[in-house]
Amino acid sequence: MRFLGFIVLIIVVAGSFGCGQNAANKKTSDANGASPVSSIKNRNSSYDAGKLVYDRNCKVCHQVNRMGMPKVYPPLKNTERTNGDKDFLIEVVLNGLSGEVVVEGVKYNGVMASYRNLTDQQIADVLNYIRSDGEAADDLVTADEVQQKR
């Protein structure tokens, strides 16, 4: 009988220890789970996230320094358009662009594919990254603005 009581005690102690562990794990995963969902409102964190999107998707043509290649890929650094209308920039990323365009006095007549497979937040971030040098730097593109154009 005393032996059985001892076993029960072990089970109770082990059980409550296990529950304690579970509760602790749950708390950690909640905390981790919340961060990617929260939208990026801060200019610097949007810039960092946007640089990652740029390096993965845009750099191959528009180049690491965002200066493009004259007559082939337009520059995306401190140009009239990167500092200009957000709607135009959102539309280019969502729908692509083709036909003749003149960027900073140089003619381009190429084809850029759509990047609508990126999330609204990724598109907002990459545009904030390419707008980060000029007078529009503080006029952030938001995920909501991208969503409205989809």
Q: Which of 40, 49, 90, 112 binds ligand HEC (CB under 6 A)?
A: 112
- At 136, list the tokens: 């529009």
Q: Which of 67, 94, 101, 137 binds ligand HEC (CB under 6 A)?
A: 101
77 within 8 A of 127, measured Cβ to Cβ: no
Contact between 126 and ligand HEC by CB under 6 A: the answer reads yes
The three-point CA angle 145-100-103 to 5° equals 65
43 within 8 A of 138, measured Cβ to Cβ: yes
85 within 8 A of 91, measured Cβ to Cβ: no
What is the pattern of x (binds ligand HEC, CB under 6 A) and - over residues 59-98?
Answer: -xxx----------xx-x--x-x-------x--xx---xx
CB of 132 to ligand HEC, least distance (A): 13
Q: Residue 91: how many CB atoms within 10 A of its CB?
A: 14
Residues that bind ligand HEC (CB under 6 A): 57-58, 60-62, 73-74, 76, 79, 81, 89, 92-93, 97-99, 101, 103, 108-110, 112, 115, 126
